[in-house]
Amino acid sequence: MGKVIAKEVSIAIAEAVAQCKVDVISAYPITPQTHIVEHLAELVNNGELDAEYMPVESEHAAMSACIGASATGARTFTSTAAQGLLLMYENLFIASAFRLPIVMVIANRSISAPISIWNDHSDVMTMRDSGWIQTFAENGQEAVDLIYHAYRVAEKALLPVALNIDGFTLSHVIEPIELLDQELVDKYIPPLRMKYKLDPKKPITMGAIGIPEIYTEAKKAQDEALKASYRIIVNAWKEFEKLTGRKYQPIESYKMEDAEVALIIMGSLAGTAMDAVDLLREKGKKVGLIKIRLWRPFPLRDFLKAIGKVRAIGVVDRAVSHGSTGGPVGIEVRSALYQSNKRPKVVNFIAGLSGRDVTVEDFVELFERTYDAISKKPRFSYEIYGVKE
Amino acid sequence: MRPELKKFKGFTLKKLPEYEGFAPGHRACQGCGTVLVLKLALKALGPNTIAVSATGCMEIISTPFPYTSWEIPWIHVAFENAASVASGIEAAIKALKRKGKISKRKKINVVVFAGDGATFDIGLQFLSGALERGHDFIYICLDNEAYMNTGVQRSSATPFGAHTTTSPAGKVVKGQITWKKNLMGIVVAHNIPYAATASPAYPVDLMNKVKKASLVNGPAFIHAFSPCPTGWGCKGEDSIMTSKLVVETRIFPLYEVIDGKYILNRRIDKPKPVEEYLKLQRRFRHLTPEQIKYIKKRVDEEYEKIVKLSECFGTES
C-alpha cells in the first residue's frame, strides 16, 4: 500500500487523476477548483504526466473539448465549480447522451447572485437531471478513492461521472491521504478501449438529429444505461475494497441500528453531523445519520434499507429549489418514501448556504427540531435554517 | 512559401480525386451552395478525416437518424462550440499517437463545418480560442449570410441592405443596417499559418485551398461563400452564377493569407456592376439607389484594402 502523507485535497486529487493516466485535460480557472488543474498543469509541464493539457478560453469550451477528446477514445478530465458548471450546462446533457466516460470534479460553490465563492451544493443540483453519475466525497481520502472509482465506473458504464467535493472546506484543507501504488491503479483501471469512437477506419455518425419517432427510444436507452450503472458502481466499490480494504457504499449509515430520528446529508458536513450524533447519544437520544454518497443514479433500495425504523427524518439540503416543495434532496427523499410503506415524518432544512457555518450545536438543534416533528406537524414543507432576523 | 506546401502541385480539372466523402440522398434544398462546398472540401481532404459540424442546416439535412450522408467519422455537439470540439479531437489524436494507441503514420485531418451564425456570432469566442491555442485543424465557414436553418434571420455576416426576417425591408428601415463583419481580418489577426476565401464557382481553387489548409501545421481557416437559394430568394440553378458574380463584382474577393502574407488570387480589374449580382436575389429587390450607391462605394474600398495588402507582400499564386 501507498504511504499516508499530509496533502492538500486538491493536490491529492490531481495526483490521483495523473495516476489514472489521463490523455487530455481541458479546463478553465474558477475558484475553488483551481488548485486541481494548476497541479495537473505542473505535472504535465514537468514531464511527470504524459497528457495534452488544454488551457481553454471558457468552461463551455472545456466540456466541448472533453467531448471531442473522449469521442476520439482519449481518457479525459476537467474540473469546475458554480458559474463554470452553469456555462458548460448544455454540453453536460450531450456528454451523457453520447455515452462518453468523461470525469469531472466539481468543487461545489454557490451560484450567483449574489456572487460568492463559498461552498454549498447549488451548482451541482442544476445538473441533477443531466444523466451523469454523481457522487459526493466527505473527506480527502474519499475524494481520492472516488477519483479512481470514477474512471473505473465511467469507462465500464460508458457514462460521465461528476465527483463532488465541497469547495474550500474540502478542496483546500490538508489531510492525511494515501494514494494507491501505481501498480494497483493500473490493475483497477485498465486501458480505455471504446467500441464506438471517431476513427477513420470505422466511421460513425455522432450527434445525429433525433426525429420524434426516435427521440423517446433514445432517451429510454440512456435512462436504462444510467440505472444499470448502479451495479457497476457498487461492484467497482467491492473491487476497490478487495484491493485496498477501504469500503464504500452508495448510502452510508452512522449509528442507525436503533435510531428513531435521523438526519440525511451529503458531502463534508457529515463529519460535524456525526459529532452531534455522538453528543446526543451520550445523552441517551437514539439518533443516527445517513450520508448519501451516490446521488445519481439515486440508490432507492439502499436508502429505504438505511432508514430502518426511524420515526422522523430531517433532510439537510445545501441548495434552494426556489418555489418547490423542498430542497432537492428533501424532494428526493419524500418521493423515495412514497414508494415504500414506511412513513416517517420528514422535515427539510436548507442550511450551510454559501459557506455559512453549520456547527455541532446547529446539528443538535436540527436533531431536536426533527424530534419535534414526531409529535407536532411541521408548519412548513421546508425551511431555510439559520436566517438572521 | 511554407515547406509543407512546397510539394503540393494542386488539383486540376483533369485530375480530380474520385473520392466522395458526402453521400447523395441528403435532404438539402435545390441549388444549396453549402452542400457543394462541403462535398468539394471532403473530396480534397480524402477519407482520413474527422469532421465536426456546428448545429445548422448541414446536420439536419445529412443525419436524420438512422441515415447519414457522412462517409467519414462525424460529430455534432452544439451550435457554438465546433471549434472547441475539434480542438479536443486534435489533442486526443496527438496524445494517443504519442502513446502508440493510434498509428503515427497517417495524418488525420480534423475539419469543422460551421455556418456564418455559428462562426461570426455565437461561436466566435470558441473559434478564437482554438486558433490561438494553435491546434492543427481546418475550420471551414459555410457562409450563407443569415440563420437559414431557423428561417432566415440576420447574422453579423448578412450583407448591408439584405432583407431577412429580423432585418426586414420595412417602410422606414430597409433591410440590414450594418456592413458584413470582417471575419477574415479577425482570423488573420490570430497569426495562423493559413487563411483563405473560396467560392464554389471556382471548384478547383476551392479544393486546392482546402488541401493547402490540411497540409499546413497548425490552424487553417477557409471562408467559403455558400449561396442559399431558399433564403436569398434566387433560383436554384443560379447558385453558381451568384457565386461567380460575387467575385466578379469585387464583393467577395478570392485571396489567401499565408503566414500573414496576402495573396490576391483573382484580380478584378474590370468589375461587373454590383447590380448584376444584387438583381438575381429577392433579398435585395427593395434597395434604393442610395443604398446601391453606398454598396458600390464600400465594395470598392474593401476590395482596394485587399489589393493594397497583397501589393505590400507582392503577388504569388
State the CATH number of the domain containing residue A377. 3.40.50.920
The string of pLDDT tens digits covering residues B102-128 is 999 989 999 999 999 999 999 999 999
Share of chain A above pLDDT 70, in %: 100
Tell me which residue of A233, A138, A140, A134 sits closest to A179, measured CA to CA: A140
Q: Is residue A99 part of a domain?
A: yes
Classify residue A389: in a domain, yes or no: no
A25-38 pLDDT tens trace: 999 999 999 999 99
* Mean pLDDT of the region B188-211: 98
Distance CA A174, CA A168 (A): 11
Give yes or no: residues A123 and A186 share one domain.
yes
Boundary of a domain, candidates A194, A227, A244: A244
Q: Which residues on A lie below 8 Å from B51 (Cβ)? A: none
pLDDT band at A47 (very low <50, low <70, confident <90, very high): very high
Mean pLDDT over the full length of chain A: 97
Number of domains composing chain B: 1
Inter-chain residue contact A58 with B125, CB threshold 8 Å: yes
**How many folded domains does chain A comprise?**
2
Give me the count of residues in chain B.
317
- Mean pLDDT (whole number) for B154-174: 97
Chain A from 19 to 78: CB within 8 A of any B CB: 23-24, 26, 50-52, 54-58, 60-61, 64-74, 76
pLDDT over 90 (residue A138): yes
Give the residue among B132, B142, B155 at the shortest CA–CA distance from B111: B142
pLDDT at A21 over 80: yes
Q: Residue A212: is the preceding peptide bond cis (ω within 30°)? A: no
Q: Do A153 and A256 belong together in one domain?
A: no
| A231 plus A301 within the same structural domain | no
Residues of the domain holding B98? 3-313
Distance between CA A128 and CA A145 in Å, rounded?
22
Distance from CA of A93 to the nearest CA of B (A): 10
Residue A377, pLDDT score: 86
Per-residue cell: B18: 474520385
Residue B76 — very low, low, confident or very high, per pLDDT cuts 50/70/90? very high
Cβ distance B84 to A60 less than 8 Å, yes or no, reads yes
Q: Cα separation of A171 and A355, whole Å?
A: 13
Asked if A65 lies within 8 A of B96 by C-beta distance, the reply is: no
Residues in A closer than 8 angstroms to B102, CB to CB, are: 73, 199
Cα→Cα distances B262→B201, B257, B308, Å: 21, 4, 9
Confidence of residue A62 (pLDDT cuts 50, 70, 90): very high
Q: What's the rounded Cα separation, in Å, for the pair B171 and A309?
A: 75
Tally of CA atoms within 13 A in the half-sphere of B237 that contains its CB: 0
**B81 and A207: CB-CB below 8 Å?**
no
Nearest CA in chain A to B98: A50
Q: Which domain holds residue A12?
A: 4-244
Residues A153 and A214 in one domain: yes
- pLDDT for position A380: 86
d(CA A17, CA A21): 7
Does the structure show a pLDDT above 90 at A2?
no
Mean predicted confidence (pLDDT) in A48-52: 98
Shared domain for A62 and A175, answered yes or no, is: yes
Tell me which of B19, B55, B89 to substitute to probe the interface with A (most A C-beta atoms closer than 10 Å): B89
Last residue of a domain, one of A244, A274, A290: A244
Are residues A203 and A286 part of one domain? no
The strand pairing partners of A163, in sequence order, are A105, A135
* C-beta atoms of A57 and B132 within 8 A: yes
Q: Cell for A116?
A: 460568492
Q: Is residue A312 part of a domain?
A: yes
Q: How confident is the model at residue B315 (pLDDT cuts 50, 70, 90)?
A: low
Check whether residue A82 and residue A189 sit in a common domain. Answer: yes
Written as nine digits, the cell of A44 is: 504535465
Residues A67 and A138 in one domain: yes
Query: Is the distance from CB of B216 to CB of B194 less than 8 angstroms?
Result: yes
* Residues found in chain A: 389
* Sign of the torsion formed by the C-alpha atoms of A65, A66, A68 and A69: positive
Is the pLDDT at A184 greater than 60, yes or no? yes
List the 301-330 stretch of A: residues with Cβ below 8 A of B.
Answer: none
The yes-or-no verdict on residue B313 having pLDDT over 90 is no
| Structural contact between residues A101 and A22, judged by C-beta atoms closer than 8 angstroms | no
Query: A303 in helix, strand or coil?
Result: helix
A300 with A161, same domain? no
> Could you tell me the CA-to-CA distances from A235 to A153, A156, A188, A240 in Å, in that order?
9, 11, 12, 8
Same-domain check for residues A212 and A66: yes
* CATH code where residue B205 lies: 3.40.50.970
- Out of A218, A244, A270, a domain closes at A244
User: pTM score, two decimals?
Assistant: 0.97
Residue A151 shares a structural domain with residue A257: no
* Start-to-end CA span in chain B (Å): 11
The Cα of B73 is separated from the nearest Cα of chain A by a number of Å equal to: 4
Whether residues A218 and A268 fall in one domain: no
Which helix (H) or strand (E) is A224 found in, with range? helix A212-244
Instruction: Judge whether B125 and B138 are in contact, CB under 8 Å.
Output: no
CATH code, domain carrying A120 = 3.40.50.970
d(CA A79, CA A37): 7
CB contact under 8 Å between A65 and B84, yes or no, is yes
Q: What is the pLDDT of residues A310-353, one digit of tens each?
A: 999 999 999 999 999 999 999 999 999 999 999 999 999 999 99
User: Is residue B298 classed exposed, middle or buried when 0-12, 13-18 and 19+ CB atoms within 10 A define those classes?
Assistant: middle
